[in-house]
Amino acid sequence: MKLAKLSLAAIVVAGLTTSSFAADTLADAFKEGKISGELRAWYFDRDKDKANSSADIFITGMQLHYETGTFYGLSLGLTSQTSAAPFADATAKAVFGTGGTNDDIYGSGTQLSEAYVLYTLGKTTAKIGRQFIKTPLIGSSTSRPITQSFEGALVTNTDLPSTSVMVGAITKYQDRTDGAGNVSNFNELNNDHDYAYTAMIVNKSIPNVELTVQYLTFDDDAKGSSASSRIQGYKDYYFEAEYTNKYNNFDYGIAMNYLYSDWKHYDEATMLGVKLSLGYGDFKTYVAYSTISDDDGNKGVKAGLGGGAQPNYVKGKQVRVGTYSSDTTGYTVDANYNFKEIGLTTGARYTALDVASKPANNDQTITDLYGSYKFVGALKGLEADIIYTILGDESEKTASAGTGKGEELWFKANYKF
Protein backbone atom coordinates (compact mmCIF):
# COMPACT_ATOMS: atom_id res chain seq x y z
CA MET A 1 0.00 0.00 0.00
CA LYS A 2 2.70 2.43 -1.11
CA LEU A 3 0.24 5.14 -2.12
CA ALA A 4 -1.39 5.27 1.30
CA LYS A 5 1.96 5.22 3.13
CA LEU A 6 3.34 8.12 1.10
CA SER A 7 0.13 10.09 1.50
CA LEU A 8 0.10 9.50 5.24
CA ALA A 9 3.67 10.73 5.57
CA ALA A 10 2.85 13.89 3.62
CA ILE A 11 -0.21 14.56 5.77
CA VAL A 12 1.74 14.18 9.01
CA VAL A 13 4.38 16.67 7.83
CA ALA A 14 1.78 19.14 6.63
CA GLY A 15 -0.23 18.81 9.81
CA LEU A 16 2.72 19.57 12.07
CA THR A 17 3.77 22.64 10.11
CA THR A 18 0.74 24.44 8.69
CA SER A 19 -2.50 23.67 10.45
CA SER A 20 -4.13 25.10 13.52
CA PHE A 21 -4.96 22.60 16.22
CA ALA A 22 -7.77 21.94 18.69
CA ALA A 23 -6.00 19.89 21.37
CA ASP A 24 -3.00 21.47 23.14
CA THR A 25 -1.02 18.23 23.17
CA LEU A 26 -1.09 14.83 21.51
CA ALA A 27 -2.10 13.32 24.85
CA ASP A 28 -5.06 15.73 25.03
CA ALA A 29 -6.19 14.61 21.56
CA PHE A 30 -6.51 11.04 22.82
CA LYS A 31 -8.15 12.15 26.07
CA GLU A 32 -10.73 14.18 24.13
CA GLY A 33 -11.55 11.23 21.90
CA LYS A 34 -15.12 9.96 21.70
CA ILE A 35 -16.36 6.38 21.94
CA SER A 36 -19.58 5.20 20.30
CA GLY A 37 -20.95 1.85 19.35
CA GLU A 38 -23.83 -0.46 18.65
CA LEU A 39 -24.93 -3.75 20.23
CA ARG A 40 -26.86 -6.09 17.94
CA ALA A 41 -29.19 -9.07 18.24
CA TRP A 42 -30.41 -10.17 14.79
CA TYR A 43 -32.59 -13.06 13.69
CA PHE A 44 -33.04 -14.39 10.14
CA ASP A 45 -35.61 -17.01 9.09
CA ARG A 46 -35.55 -18.23 5.47
CA ASP A 47 -38.09 -20.62 3.94
CA LYS A 48 -37.51 -21.20 0.21
CA ASP A 49 -38.76 -23.78 -2.28
CA LYS A 50 -35.26 -24.47 -3.55
CA ALA A 51 -33.69 -27.52 -1.91
CA ASN A 52 -31.27 -26.94 0.99
CA SER A 53 -32.16 -23.24 1.18
CA SER A 54 -34.28 -23.04 4.36
CA ALA A 55 -33.02 -22.35 7.88
CA ASP A 56 -33.06 -19.82 10.71
CA ILE A 57 -30.17 -18.25 12.61
CA PHE A 58 -29.68 -15.94 15.61
CA ILE A 59 -26.65 -13.64 15.54
CA THR A 60 -25.21 -11.28 18.15
CA GLY A 61 -22.67 -8.61 17.33
CA MET A 62 -21.11 -5.31 18.20
CA GLN A 63 -19.55 -2.30 16.51
CA LEU A 64 -17.20 -0.17 18.64
CA HIS A 65 -15.89 3.13 17.27
CA TYR A 66 -13.28 5.50 18.72
CA GLU A 67 -12.08 8.78 17.22
CA THR A 68 -9.52 11.05 18.80
CA GLY A 69 -9.79 14.81 19.09
CA THR A 70 -7.93 16.89 16.50
CA PHE A 71 -4.27 17.81 16.88
CA TYR A 72 -2.83 20.12 14.20
CA GLY A 73 -5.72 19.08 11.94
CA LEU A 74 -5.08 15.37 12.49
CA SER A 75 -7.32 12.76 14.09
CA LEU A 76 -7.36 8.96 14.27
CA GLY A 77 -10.40 6.68 13.93
CA LEU A 78 -10.82 3.00 14.79
CA THR A 79 -13.85 0.69 14.42
CA SER A 80 -13.97 -2.97 15.37
CA GLN A 81 -16.76 -5.35 14.35
CA THR A 82 -17.71 -8.58 16.10
CA SER A 83 -20.20 -11.23 15.02
CA ALA A 84 -21.14 -14.52 16.69
CA ALA A 85 -23.80 -17.19 16.12
CA PRO A 86 -23.33 -19.56 19.07
CA PHE A 87 -26.52 -21.55 18.46
CA ALA A 88 -26.18 -22.04 14.69
CA ASP A 89 -26.47 -25.65 13.56
CA ALA A 90 -24.88 -27.18 10.48
CA THR A 91 -27.90 -26.39 8.29
CA ALA A 92 -27.96 -22.73 9.31
CA LYS A 93 -24.24 -22.38 8.67
CA ALA A 94 -24.57 -23.88 5.21
CA VAL A 95 -27.62 -21.83 4.20
CA PHE A 96 -26.33 -18.52 5.53
CA GLY A 97 -22.66 -18.61 4.65
CA THR A 98 -20.71 -21.82 4.08
CA GLY A 99 -22.81 -23.63 1.49
CA GLY A 100 -20.84 -22.48 -1.52
CA THR A 101 -22.94 -19.40 -2.26
CA ASN A 102 -21.33 -17.23 0.43
CA ASP A 103 -24.59 -15.72 1.65
CA ASP A 104 -22.65 -13.27 3.84
CA ILE A 105 -24.75 -13.65 6.99
CA TYR A 106 -22.98 -16.39 8.97
CA GLY A 107 -19.40 -15.57 9.90
CA SER A 108 -18.00 -15.45 13.43
CA GLY A 109 -15.04 -13.42 14.65
CA THR A 110 -13.71 -9.89 15.06
CA GLN A 111 -12.19 -7.53 12.53
CA LEU A 112 -10.66 -4.05 12.77
CA SER A 113 -12.73 -2.65 9.92
CA GLU A 114 -11.77 1.01 10.31
CA ALA A 115 -8.29 2.32 11.07
CA TYR A 116 -7.86 5.69 9.42
CA VAL A 117 -6.07 9.00 9.75
CA LEU A 118 -8.22 12.06 9.05
CA TYR A 119 -6.59 15.39 8.17
CA THR A 120 -8.37 18.69 7.53
CA LEU A 121 -6.77 21.80 6.06
CA GLY A 122 -9.16 24.61 5.22
CA LYS A 123 -11.96 23.06 3.15
CA THR A 124 -9.96 19.98 2.18
CA THR A 125 -10.21 16.69 4.05
CA ALA A 126 -8.07 13.59 3.49
CA LYS A 127 -8.99 10.19 4.92
CA ILE A 128 -6.34 7.46 4.70
CA GLY A 129 -6.68 3.80 5.73
CA ARG A 130 -9.51 1.37 6.41
CA GLN A 131 -12.90 3.07 6.25
CA PHE A 132 -16.60 2.71 5.55
CA ILE A 133 -17.60 4.45 2.30
CA LYS A 134 -21.00 5.42 0.91
CA THR A 135 -21.12 6.76 -2.66
CA PRO A 136 -23.20 5.64 -5.66
CA LEU A 137 -20.37 3.48 -7.06
CA ILE A 138 -18.48 2.54 -3.86
CA GLY A 139 -20.62 1.39 -0.97
CA SER A 140 -20.25 -0.39 2.36
CA SER A 141 -23.38 -2.52 2.77
CA THR A 142 -24.91 -2.39 6.26
CA SER A 143 -27.70 -4.93 5.72
CA ARG A 144 -25.79 -7.95 7.08
CA PRO A 145 -24.20 -8.41 10.52
CA ILE A 146 -20.78 -7.27 9.25
CA THR A 147 -20.54 -3.93 7.42
CA GLN A 148 -18.26 -4.07 4.41
CA SER A 149 -15.18 -1.86 4.47
CA PHE A 150 -12.47 -0.54 2.14
CA GLU A 151 -8.80 0.30 2.47
CA GLY A 152 -7.58 3.32 0.55
CA ALA A 153 -7.42 7.10 0.44
CA LEU A 154 -10.14 9.71 -0.21
CA VAL A 155 -9.60 13.45 -0.56
CA THR A 156 -12.62 15.80 -0.47
CA ASN A 157 -12.69 19.54 -1.19
CA THR A 158 -15.56 22.03 -0.82
CA ASP A 159 -13.89 25.29 -1.94
CA LEU A 160 -16.23 25.70 -4.92
CA PRO A 161 -19.62 27.17 -3.93
CA SER A 162 -22.27 24.52 -3.27
CA THR A 163 -19.91 21.88 -4.67
CA SER A 164 -18.08 18.89 -3.22
CA VAL A 165 -15.23 17.29 -5.18
CA MET A 166 -13.82 13.92 -4.16
CA VAL A 167 -10.98 11.81 -5.58
CA GLY A 168 -9.66 8.55 -4.22
CA ALA A 169 -8.01 5.19 -4.61
CA ILE A 170 -9.20 1.85 -3.18
CA THR A 171 -6.49 -0.72 -2.50
CA LYS A 172 -8.24 -3.51 -0.55
CA TYR A 173 -11.73 -4.65 0.37
CA GLN A 174 -13.28 -6.39 3.37
CA ASP A 175 -16.39 -8.43 2.58
CA ARG A 176 -18.89 -9.54 5.22
CA THR A 177 -17.73 -13.15 5.55
CA ASP A 178 -15.14 -15.39 3.91
CA GLY A 179 -17.56 -18.20 3.04
CA ALA A 180 -15.84 -20.53 5.52
CA GLY A 181 -17.62 -19.40 8.67
CA ASN A 182 -15.41 -16.44 9.56
CA VAL A 183 -15.59 -12.66 9.38
CA SER A 184 -13.76 -11.67 6.22
CA ASN A 185 -10.22 -10.29 6.17
CA PHE A 186 -9.09 -7.42 3.97
CA ASN A 187 -8.16 -8.75 0.52
CA GLU A 188 -6.76 -7.34 -2.70
CA LEU A 189 -9.31 -6.33 -5.33
CA ASN A 190 -7.93 -8.84 -7.84
CA ASN A 191 -5.05 -11.28 -8.37
CA ASP A 192 -2.80 -8.53 -9.76
CA HIS A 193 -3.27 -6.37 -6.64
CA ASP A 194 -4.60 -3.55 -8.83
CA TYR A 195 -6.21 -0.46 -7.34
CA ALA A 196 -9.58 1.09 -8.18
CA TYR A 197 -9.66 4.85 -8.74
CA THR A 198 -12.63 7.18 -8.45
CA ALA A 199 -13.65 10.82 -8.77
CA MET A 200 -16.98 12.36 -7.79
CA ILE A 201 -18.61 15.80 -7.96
CA VAL A 202 -21.79 16.75 -6.09
CA ASN A 203 -23.30 20.14 -6.93
CA LYS A 204 -26.23 21.90 -5.22
CA SER A 205 -25.97 25.35 -6.81
CA ILE A 206 -29.43 25.11 -8.40
CA PRO A 207 -32.16 25.54 -5.77
CA ASN A 208 -33.77 22.20 -4.78
CA VAL A 209 -31.56 20.31 -7.25
CA GLU A 210 -28.67 17.97 -6.49
CA LEU A 211 -26.41 16.79 -9.32
CA THR A 212 -24.01 13.88 -8.84
CA VAL A 213 -21.34 12.65 -11.24
CA GLN A 214 -19.00 9.77 -10.38
CA TYR A 215 -16.29 7.92 -12.30
CA LEU A 216 -14.78 4.58 -11.26
CA THR A 217 -12.07 2.61 -13.04
CA PHE A 218 -10.63 -0.79 -12.22
CA ASP A 219 -7.86 -2.55 -14.16
CA ASP A 220 -8.19 -5.92 -15.80
CA ASP A 221 -7.01 -9.01 -13.95
CA ALA A 222 -4.31 -10.55 -16.15
CA LYS A 223 -4.32 -13.89 -14.33
CA GLY A 224 -6.63 -16.73 -15.27
CA SER A 225 -6.79 -19.10 -18.18
CA SER A 226 -9.68 -17.28 -19.87
CA ALA A 227 -11.54 -13.99 -19.70
CA SER A 228 -14.48 -15.62 -17.92
CA SER A 229 -12.21 -16.94 -15.14
CA ARG A 230 -10.68 -13.53 -14.36
CA ILE A 231 -11.92 -10.61 -12.33
CA GLN A 232 -12.92 -8.27 -15.12
CA GLY A 233 -11.76 -4.69 -15.53
CA TYR A 234 -14.22 -1.91 -16.29
CA LYS A 235 -14.90 1.82 -16.27
CA ASP A 236 -18.13 3.13 -14.77
CA TYR A 237 -19.64 6.54 -15.53
CA TYR A 238 -22.56 7.56 -13.31
CA PHE A 239 -24.85 10.60 -13.45
CA GLU A 240 -27.80 11.51 -11.23
CA ALA A 241 -30.08 14.55 -11.08
CA GLU A 242 -32.56 14.92 -8.22
CA TYR A 243 -35.17 17.63 -7.67
CA THR A 244 -37.07 17.92 -4.38
CA ASN A 245 -39.47 20.57 -3.13
CA LYS A 246 -42.29 21.20 -0.68
CA TYR A 247 -45.63 23.00 -0.76
CA ASN A 248 -47.34 23.38 2.60
CA ASN A 249 -47.63 19.80 3.90
CA PHE A 250 -46.89 18.25 0.50
CA ASP A 251 -43.39 17.25 -0.53
CA TYR A 252 -42.53 15.95 -3.97
CA GLY A 253 -39.56 15.09 -6.12
CA ILE A 254 -38.25 13.53 -9.27
CA ALA A 255 -34.88 11.86 -9.81
CA MET A 256 -33.13 10.40 -12.84
CA ASN A 257 -29.92 8.41 -13.03
CA TYR A 258 -27.75 6.89 -15.74
CA LEU A 259 -24.94 4.33 -15.49
CA TYR A 260 -22.59 3.45 -18.35
CA SER A 261 -20.27 0.43 -17.90
CA ASP A 262 -17.38 0.11 -20.33
CA TRP A 263 -16.10 -3.47 -19.89
CA LYS A 264 -12.62 -4.61 -20.89
CA HIS A 265 -13.81 -7.86 -22.49
CA TYR A 266 -17.55 -7.38 -22.95
CA ASP A 267 -19.84 -5.01 -24.78
CA GLU A 268 -20.63 -1.78 -22.98
CA ALA A 269 -23.95 -1.59 -21.15
CA THR A 270 -26.20 1.16 -19.80
CA MET A 271 -28.79 1.58 -17.08
CA LEU A 272 -31.43 4.32 -17.07
CA GLY A 273 -33.70 4.95 -14.11
CA VAL A 274 -36.37 7.40 -12.96
CA LYS A 275 -38.01 7.88 -9.56
CA LEU A 276 -41.08 9.93 -8.61
CA SER A 277 -41.69 10.77 -4.95
CA LEU A 278 -44.73 12.22 -3.19
CA GLY A 279 -45.52 12.80 0.44
CA TYR A 280 -48.09 14.44 2.67
CA GLY A 281 -47.03 15.08 6.24
CA ASP A 282 -45.71 11.82 7.67
CA PHE A 283 -46.91 9.73 4.70
CA LYS A 284 -44.31 9.06 1.99
CA THR A 285 -44.49 7.12 -1.25
CA TYR A 286 -42.51 6.69 -4.45
CA VAL A 287 -42.55 4.77 -7.71
CA ALA A 288 -39.37 3.90 -9.65
CA TYR A 289 -38.60 2.36 -13.03
CA SER A 290 -35.33 1.24 -14.60
CA THR A 291 -34.13 -0.42 -17.77
CA ILE A 292 -30.79 -2.03 -18.66
CA SER A 293 -29.58 -2.33 -22.23
CA ASP A 294 -29.44 -5.61 -24.13
CA ASP A 295 -25.77 -6.14 -25.02
CA ASP A 296 -24.45 -9.11 -26.96
CA GLY A 297 -21.83 -9.85 -24.28
CA ASN A 298 -24.68 -10.49 -21.79
CA LYS A 299 -22.67 -8.98 -18.93
CA GLY A 300 -25.00 -6.14 -17.97
CA VAL A 301 -23.85 -3.09 -16.03
CA LYS A 302 -21.30 -3.08 -13.19
CA ALA A 303 -22.76 -1.41 -10.12
CA GLY A 304 -19.36 -0.51 -8.66
CA LEU A 305 -17.60 -1.86 -5.56
CA GLY A 306 -19.32 -3.27 -2.47
CA GLY A 307 -22.84 -4.43 -1.72
CA GLY A 308 -23.79 -0.87 -0.76
CA ALA A 309 -23.20 0.34 -4.33
CA GLN A 310 -26.82 0.06 -5.40
CA PRO A 311 -27.59 2.96 -7.77
CA ASN A 312 -30.63 1.17 -9.25
CA TYR A 313 -33.82 2.75 -7.86
CA VAL A 314 -35.58 -0.57 -8.47
CA LYS A 315 -34.74 -2.82 -5.52
CA GLY A 316 -36.18 -4.75 -2.62
CA LYS A 317 -35.87 -3.55 0.96
CA GLN A 318 -33.13 -6.02 1.95
CA VAL A 319 -33.33 -9.22 -0.06
CA ARG A 320 -32.14 -9.28 -3.70
CA VAL A 321 -31.69 -5.53 -3.69
CA GLY A 322 -31.66 -5.09 -7.44
CA THR A 323 -30.44 -6.73 -10.59
CA TYR A 324 -27.97 -5.40 -13.13
CA SER A 325 -28.23 -8.16 -15.73
CA SER A 326 -28.47 -7.40 -19.43
CA ASP A 327 -31.91 -6.67 -20.93
CA THR A 328 -33.67 -6.12 -17.60
CA THR A 329 -36.61 -3.86 -16.83
CA GLY A 330 -38.32 -3.39 -13.51
CA TYR A 331 -40.31 -1.15 -11.21
CA THR A 332 -40.68 -0.53 -7.47
CA VAL A 333 -43.56 1.01 -5.52
CA ASP A 334 -43.08 1.96 -1.86
CA ALA A 335 -45.38 3.58 0.71
CA ASN A 336 -44.75 4.21 4.40
CA TYR A 337 -46.09 6.20 7.34
CA ASN A 338 -44.18 7.59 10.32
CA PHE A 339 -46.17 7.61 13.57
CA LYS A 340 -43.84 10.12 15.22
CA GLU A 341 -45.79 10.30 18.45
CA ILE A 342 -45.01 6.68 19.27
CA GLY A 343 -41.73 6.27 17.35
CA LEU A 344 -43.14 3.74 14.86
CA THR A 345 -42.64 3.64 11.08
CA THR A 346 -44.46 1.07 8.94
CA GLY A 347 -44.47 0.50 5.22
CA ALA A 348 -44.79 -1.80 2.22
CA ARG A 349 -42.76 -2.16 -0.96
CA TYR A 350 -43.35 -4.13 -4.16
CA THR A 351 -40.68 -4.78 -6.78
CA ALA A 352 -41.08 -6.56 -10.12
CA LEU A 353 -38.19 -7.54 -12.40
CA ASP A 354 -38.20 -8.87 -15.96
CA VAL A 355 -34.75 -10.34 -16.70
CA ALA A 356 -35.24 -11.12 -20.38
CA SER A 357 -31.61 -12.09 -20.96
CA LYS A 358 -31.80 -14.99 -18.48
CA PRO A 359 -34.93 -17.12 -18.99
CA ALA A 360 -33.97 -19.31 -16.03
CA ASN A 361 -34.19 -16.24 -13.74
CA ASN A 362 -37.02 -14.33 -15.38
CA ASP A 363 -40.08 -12.61 -13.89
CA GLN A 364 -39.12 -12.10 -10.26
CA THR A 365 -41.13 -10.19 -7.64
CA ILE A 366 -40.25 -8.97 -4.14
CA THR A 367 -42.93 -7.95 -1.64
CA ASP A 368 -41.65 -6.29 1.54
CA LEU A 369 -43.66 -5.47 4.67
CA TYR A 370 -41.52 -3.55 7.13
CA GLY A 371 -41.57 -1.63 10.37
CA SER A 372 -39.21 0.19 12.71
CA TYR A 373 -39.68 1.21 16.33
CA LYS A 374 -37.46 3.62 18.27
CA PHE A 375 -37.66 3.42 22.05
CA VAL A 376 -37.62 6.51 24.28
CA GLY A 377 -37.03 7.28 27.93
CA ALA A 378 -34.85 4.80 29.78
CA LEU A 379 -34.50 2.70 26.60
CA LYS A 380 -33.46 5.60 24.35
CA GLY A 381 -30.96 4.35 21.78
CA LEU A 382 -32.71 1.00 21.35
CA GLU A 383 -34.33 0.36 17.97
CA ALA A 384 -36.12 -2.67 16.54
CA ASP A 385 -36.59 -3.35 12.81
CA ILE A 386 -38.60 -6.10 11.20
CA ILE A 387 -38.93 -7.04 7.52
CA TYR A 388 -41.13 -9.78 6.11
CA THR A 389 -40.34 -10.56 2.48
CA ILE A 390 -42.24 -12.69 -0.03
CA LEU A 391 -40.14 -13.78 -3.01
CA GLY A 392 -42.09 -14.61 -6.15
CA ASP A 393 -40.37 -16.25 -9.09
CA GLU A 394 -41.95 -17.39 -12.35
CA SER A 395 -38.58 -18.42 -13.77
CA GLU A 396 -38.05 -21.58 -15.69
CA LYS A 397 -37.44 -24.25 -13.07
CA THR A 398 -34.32 -26.27 -13.88
CA ALA A 399 -32.14 -28.68 -11.99
CA SER A 400 -29.40 -26.07 -11.76
CA ALA A 401 -31.46 -22.96 -11.14
CA GLY A 402 -34.20 -24.40 -8.95
CA THR A 403 -36.67 -21.71 -7.92
CA GLY A 404 -36.38 -18.41 -6.12
CA LYS A 405 -39.80 -18.58 -4.49
CA GLY A 406 -39.96 -18.32 -0.74
CA GLU A 407 -40.29 -16.13 2.34
CA GLU A 408 -37.86 -14.43 4.67
CA LEU A 409 -38.21 -12.77 8.07
CA TRP A 410 -35.50 -10.42 9.29
CA PHE A 411 -35.60 -9.04 12.84
CA LYS A 412 -32.94 -6.62 14.07
CA ALA A 413 -32.61 -5.18 17.58
CA ASN A 414 -29.90 -2.52 17.87
CA TYR A 415 -28.77 -0.45 20.83
CA LYS A 416 -26.65 2.57 19.93
CA PHE A 417 -24.54 4.32 22.56
CATH number at residue 125: 2.40.160.10
| Each residue's pLDDT tens digit, 167-189 | 999 999 999 999 999 999 999 99
Which of the listed ranges 5-9, 153-157, 191-195 does the model predict with the highest average pLDDT?
153-157
Q: Considering the chain, what percentage of its residues have pLDDT values greater than 90?
A: 75
- With vertex at residue 146, the alpha carbon angle to CA 143 and CA 152, rounded to the nearest 5 degrees, is 105
As a whole number of angstroms, the distance between CA 154 and CA 166 comes to: 7
The domain boundary residue, chosen from 323, 343, 361 = 323
Looking at the predicted structure, is the pLDDT value of residue 395 above 50? yes
pLDDT of residue 323: 78
Q: Is the same domain home to 125 and 155?
A: yes
**pLDDT score of 338 more than 80:** yes
Provide the pLDDT confidence category of residue 322 given band limits of 50, 70 and 90. low
- Tally of CB atoms within 10 A around 119: 23
User: Is 361 a residue whose pLDDT tops 70?
Assistant: no
| Average confidence (pLDDT) over 228-252 | 91
User: So what's the pLDDT on residue 178?
Assistant: 94
Q: Residue 64 pLDDT > 50, yes or no?
A: yes
Quote the pLDDT of residue 325: 87
- Containing 8, the helix (H) or strand (E) segment is helix 2-18
> 257 with 340, same domain?
no
Predicted pLDDT at 12: 44
Q: In this predicted structure, which of 217-226, 374-383, 396-405 has the lowest mean pLDDT?
A: 396-405
Examine the domain organization and report whether 226 and 357 are in the same domain.
no
Rounded average pLDDT over 40-51:
93
Do the beta carbons of residue 141 and residue 307 sit within 8 Å? Answer: yes
Q: Are residues 278 and 390 in the same domain?
A: no
383 shares its domain with 402: yes
Same domain? 298 vs 405: no
Q: Does 315 have pLDDT greater than 80?
A: yes
Choosing from 267, 300, 323, the residue where a domain stops is 323
Instruction: Assess whether 221 and 311 both reside in one domain.
Output: yes
Confidence of residue 5 (pLDDT cuts 50, 70, 90): very low
Does residue 188 share a domain with residue 218? yes
Q: 2 pLDDT exceeds 60?
A: no
Q: What is the reported pLDDT for 24?
A: 87
How many angstroms from the chain centroid is the CA of residue 323? 15
Indicate the helix (H) or strand (E) that contains 5: helix 2-18
Where does a domain end: 273, 297, 323?
323
Lowest pLDDT segment from 44-58, 85-99, 309-323:
309-323
Do 339 and 277 lie in a common domain? Answer: no
Global pTM value: 0.90
Which range marks the domain in which residue 290 is found? Answer: 2-323
Same domain, 172 and 259: yes
Distance CA 70, CA 20 (A): 10
* Mean pLDDT to the nearest integer, 322-343: 92
Query: What average pLDDT does the segment 44-53 reach?
Result: 89
**Other CB atoms within 10 A of residue 52 CB:** 11
**pLDDT band (50, 70, 90) for residue 398:** low
Provide the pLDDT for residue 228. 58
For residues 152 and 104, which has the higher predicted lDDT (pLDDT)? 152
Angle subtended at Cα 218 by Cα 214 and Cα 223, rounded to the nearest 5 degrees = 165
Average pLDDT over the chain, rounded to whole? 90
Total number of domains in the chain: 2
Q: Are residues 211 and 281 in the same domain?
A: yes
Least confident of 6-15, 215-224, 335-344, 400-409: 6-15
Identify whether residues 254 and 290 lie together within a single domain: yes
